[in-house]
A and B are shown apart, each in its own frame.
Chain A
Amino acid sequence: MADLAWPDPKDCSLLGKSIPRLDGPDKSAGRAKYTYDVNRPRMLWAKFKTCPYGRARVKSIDVAPAESMAGVVAVEVLKAATTECTVAFQEVAVVAAESEEIAREAARRIAVEWEPLEHNVVDDDVAMAGTKAKAGKEAVTDGFAKAIEGAAVVSETEVGCSILTHCCLESHGSVVEYAEQDGKPAATAWSSTQAASGVGGEFATALGIDAAQVHVVCQHMGGGFGSKFGADLWGALAARLSKKTGRPVKVMLERDMEIALAGSRPSAFGRMRVGVAEDGAIVAWESQAWGSGGNGGGMGAPSLPYVFGNIPDKKTQTTPIFTNTGGARAWRAPNHPQMCLLTMAALSDAAAELGMDELEFFKKNLGLTARADVYAQELDLAADMIGWKQKWTARGDQKGVVRRGLGLAMHTWGGGPHNSNVQCTLHPDGSVELRCGTQDLGVGARTVIGIVAAETFGLPLEKVTVLIGDNRYPQSDGSGGSTTVGAISTATRHACVQALDKLFEAVAPDLNGPASALVAKDGMVRGKESTAGGLPFADACRRLGAQPVVTLGQTQRGNGMSSSQVGGVQMAEVEVDTETGIVTVKKVVAVQDVGRVIDLLTAESQVRGAMIMGVCAALYEERVMDPVTGTLLNPDLEFYKLAGIADVGELAVHLMQTPEHWSRGVIGIGEPPAISPMAAISNAVANAIGARVKRCPMTPDRVLAALKS
């Protein structure tokens, strides 16, 4: 029997190495086809008329100017007279036309008379939000009052972070082609989705047909980060308009709608007090937090303090604020980066108040976390990587114009696998085909499946064909929460090992041994103990007869295959110009517990990408609303600012890869490294300038304000 367990790393030729992604050549040559790239014969383009206010009633709507335009094929009113829009850029009407330009112009010509209504877009001030802020219940431990009174030092911190949007470079949308197939109504839906296996039902509902008749395709997708699990109204409209017009319809959001509506990360602000004993032990935590998840209501379920959950005495209270802004969607480690900022900033300030080295302070209090040993090891490694001991100066000690600072933060995440099915087809010519309904968000899902299959069969990667991104392949859950790689890697291994067993049975007589004594390695099938002889893999497969072997594998949990719960540490070094308020990130280091890595190259890419998102959140990006009209002031990439290639500093990554870590199996890596960077950079800036910048992104004006305080 072939062994299901992951092979020993020293015996691996692909698993855990740095392997360029399988679809890299197609992506870099422009051959990779995304939903936005799908052009179908006779395809129509759909564009929206949208609401210019945070909240307003449609007094009247006249679509005649659009309908009368040459090239307009269908117009649908989505918000009839007297109905209300509750967020700017909300869809009021949709136009399908022969070309993108005609559709856009026709949508613009739709005449709407508005009655602006009272709205709230204030998410950072409980008093100003008035009745839209709903104070939550206070939770307090019995010993809190005594603990904070008895503390040698009580530090105070006020810090927060703005609402971010997902800003996927491929905007949200779908192309739907409704047509009869074999006498039954059917449809093909190309959709930019994080859930190819599951999203078909939404298109079916919109079309009023069987889900079995909807073929979903997502070969490549241009980013999701948690915002693309559903077909959304936009996919449903592509479907409805296709059915109505009898033609394929493309609905891809324009950038302004994408930023306004298609997902955001809730803001979070907090006032914290931390009580510390003379020796640096944290004894009490108090926090009042507020923030908004937009028109969906609250700010998730914040849990403070973060990571240091075992602080003995606590008093916490949270106030979610309802705003007339686009709703929150899962955003790479939902709530964790915000809670990390509030907690790590408060603890950093406590260390500074006490006059203690931040690193020593955090190490001193690791007993208040769920994994003290993991963090201790990671803190030491990260400190070496950034040169903490050599570079550390106490907060506020620097007096020059340009000041350097160090900061750190810690995080935790689950990352256990979701449910996935992978089908393996082993052909009699020795070629291998893997099918899975998963999708590749940019993580390298194709490559992960390919590496595991090739390693299991002892084949070079090019002998393996990987087919994903299609709901006609075996079901795989939506990609979110760092659940995908653990699922598809173990399901692939499970499928391939079963196929290998059938192969071993077929060739055992030729190799004079029991099937259980065989191994597939270096393109050969041979006895486990022998280093020479055996059968070339293709020759062995010919013994299968004329038909391929087909097996189905499922997610494997535990037993060293996969697990969850990781800890990570990040440290940042910044330079702050105290005259201009400009912060420059010099270096960020990430040390991450990750279980067993499948592809070191793509895993490190993902960690660096997460760190860059953190740099963006710390210094550049935020959604800006107009309190007067309630509309979005920066619905474009010029003023919704992302970091450029020269803005991110040096990014050093260390993934913990020891026998102990390998023994845990595969754990997802998408979310954890996205959590700490904003907090670490905030702490580094505080260390440099001697004051806490109260809000991320730490734009020059906010830095200068902190310096003045």
Chain B
Amino acid sequence: MSRLDEAEEGAGVSRRGFLKGMGATALAAGALAPAAGAASAAAKGAPAATARTPLFGPAPVAVKLQINGKEREVRVEPRVTLLDALRNHLDLTGAKKVCDRATCGACTVLLDGKAVYSCTVLAVEAQGRAIETVEGLAESHGGAAPIQKCFVANDAQQCGFCTPGFVMACESFKRANPGASRQQALDGLGGNLCRCGTYHGVANAVVDALAGKGGS
């Protein structure tokens, strides 16, 4: 298995599966919207839906999500991202919308324990998988997990808009790399951006958390 395949398997959605899913969505959207002729034409060549790629929508569909250990159901269009389902339909607004295209990491949540950009995962794709948000991380630790306490102690936040995403990225990094050095942590956290410039505090926070500060 190549590294790329491994990464794709690890992410739970293969590139092939994702593209096929996109094809099915485009087909469905084209069927509903006769005005969008281009979409219909493009969809003609799309692969037929198979048993492995269920066809959703385009009307809102019931989506069951396992969020922070609880099952939540929302009715959303299949094009709705996990981020928008959380923020706009479940009022879980901890994850933030900043770039909306998998660059800045403000929307980071854990999917089966792995950090993902929730702006680039569809809600329908997240079904059957364990979703952990920044709110859930805090609640499962009585209001603040060790990494969150370390963020506060090290002032790893100014305006705070990148903070929830950074917290989840740090938490994911910490779980996967318990013995990491400071430099390894910096290299591992390159997927999140901050505009106020709190990187010094974030670096100190993750180093403290790796050292076991902030409790368990």
Q: Which of A125-133, A290-298, A599-607, A694-702 contacts B (4 or more CB under 8 A)?
A: A599-607
A100 at interface by CB-CB < 8 Å: yes
* Contact between A645 and B104, CB atoms less than 8 A apart: no
Contact partner, A636, options B35, B99, B197, B198, Cβ 8 Å: B99
What's the Cα separation between A254 and B164 when bound, in Å? 20
Interface of chain B, helix or strand or loop or mixed? loop
What's the Cα separation between A605 and B103 when bound, in Å? 24
Contact partner, A169, options B93, B104, B143, B148, Cβ 8 Å: B104
What's the Cα separation between A30 and B94 when bound, in Å? 4
**Contact A24-B155, Cβ < 8 Å, known A31-B135, A36-B96, A223-B195:** yes
**Contact A648-B199, Cβ < 8 Å, known A36-B97, A636-B99:** yes
What's the Cα separation between A444 and B164 when bound, in Å? 18
Q: Write out the residue numbers on chain A whose beta carbons fall within 8 Å of the beta carbon of B159.
A: 168-170, 220-223, 441-442
Instruction: Name the interface residues of B56-107: CB closer than 8 Å to any CB of A.
Output: 77, 79-80, 84, 87-88, 91-101, 103-104, 106
Question: Across the A-B interface, how many residue pairs have beta carbons closer than 8 Å?
Answer: 184
* Contact between B161 and A20, CB atoms less than 8 A apart: no
* Contact between B138 and A29, CB atoms less than 8 A apart: yes
Q: Write out the residue numbers on chain A whose beta carbons fall within 8 Å of the beta carbon of B133.
A: 30
A387 at interface by CB-CB < 8 Å: no
Contact partner, A608, options B79, B164, B197, Cβ 8 Å: B197
Which of B95, B155, B159: most chain A Cβ within 10 A?
Answer: B159
* Contact between B94 and A637, CB atoms less than 8 A apart: no
* Contact between B167 and A28, CB atoms less than 8 A apart: yes
* Contact between A21 and B157, CB atoms less than 8 A apart: yes
A39 at interface by CB-CB < 8 Å: yes
Q: Write out the residue numbers on chain B whose beta carbons fall within 8 Å of the beta carbon of A109.
A: 35
* Contact between B203 and A28, CB atoms less than 8 A apart: no
Q: Write out the residue numbers on chain A whose beta carbons fall within 8 Å of the beta carbon of B198.
A: 605, 608-609
Q: Write out the residue numbers on chain A whose beta carbons fall within 8 Å of the beta carbon of B148.
A: 25, 28-29
Q: Write out the residue numbers on chain A whose beta carbons fall within 8 Å of the beta carbon of B49.
A: none
Q: Write out the residue numbers on chain A whose beta carbons fall within 8 Å of the beta carbon of B158.
A: 442-444, 605-606, 609
Residues of B within 8 A of A (CB-CB), count: 59
What's the Cα separation between A646 and B206 when bound, in Å? 13
Q: How far is the CB of A113 from chain B (nearest CB, A)?
A: 17
Instruction: Name the interface residues of B122-156: CB closer than 8 Å to any CB of A.
Output: 133-135, 137-138, 143-144, 148, 151-153, 155-156
What residue of chain A has the Cβ atom nearest to residue B102's Cβ? A638
What's the Cα separation between A225 and B103 when bound, in Å? 21
**Contact A27-B163, Cβ < 8 Å, known A39-B88, A101-B84:** yes
* Contact between B152 and A168, CB atoms less than 8 A apart: no
* Contact between A27 and B157, CB atoms less than 8 A apart: yes
What's the Cα separation between A433 and B186 when bound, in Å? 40
A152 at interface by CB-CB < 8 Å: no
Q: Write out the residue numbers on chain A whose beta carbons fall within 8 Å of the beta carbon of B135.
A: 29-31
* Contact between A613 and B104, CB atoms less than 8 A apart: no
Q: Write out the residue numbers on chain B whose beta carbons fall within 8 Å of the beta carbon of A100.
A: 84, 88
B189 at interface by CB-CB < 8 Å: yes
Q: B189-215 toward A: CB 8 Å interface, digit per residue (1/0)?
A: 110111111111111000000000000
Q: Write out the residue numbers on chain A whose beta carbons fall within 8 Å of the beta carbon of B153.
A: 20
* Contact between B160 and A222, CB atoms less than 8 A apart: yes
Contact partner, B138, options A30, A167, A255, A609, Cβ 8 Å: A30
A5 at interface by CB-CB < 8 Å: no
* Contact between B101 and A638, CB atoms less than 8 A apart: yes
Contact partner, B161, options A29, A65, A222, A443, Cβ 8 Å: A222
* Contact between A645 and B189, CB atoms less than 8 A apart: yes
Q: B166-186 toward A: CB 8 Å interface, digit per residue (1/0)?
A: 010000000000000000001
Give 30 A-B contacts (CB < 8 Å), ordered by A residue.
A21-B152, A21-B155, A23-B160, A28-B138, A29-B164, A30-B93, A34-B161, A39-B93, A101-B77, A101-B79, A101-B80, A109-B35, A169-B104, A169-B159, A171-B98, A220-B160, A222-B96, A222-B159, A442-B157, A442-B158, A604-B155, A605-B155, A605-B158, A606-B158, A610-B197, A636-B99, A644-B190, A645-B192, A646-B187, A648-B199
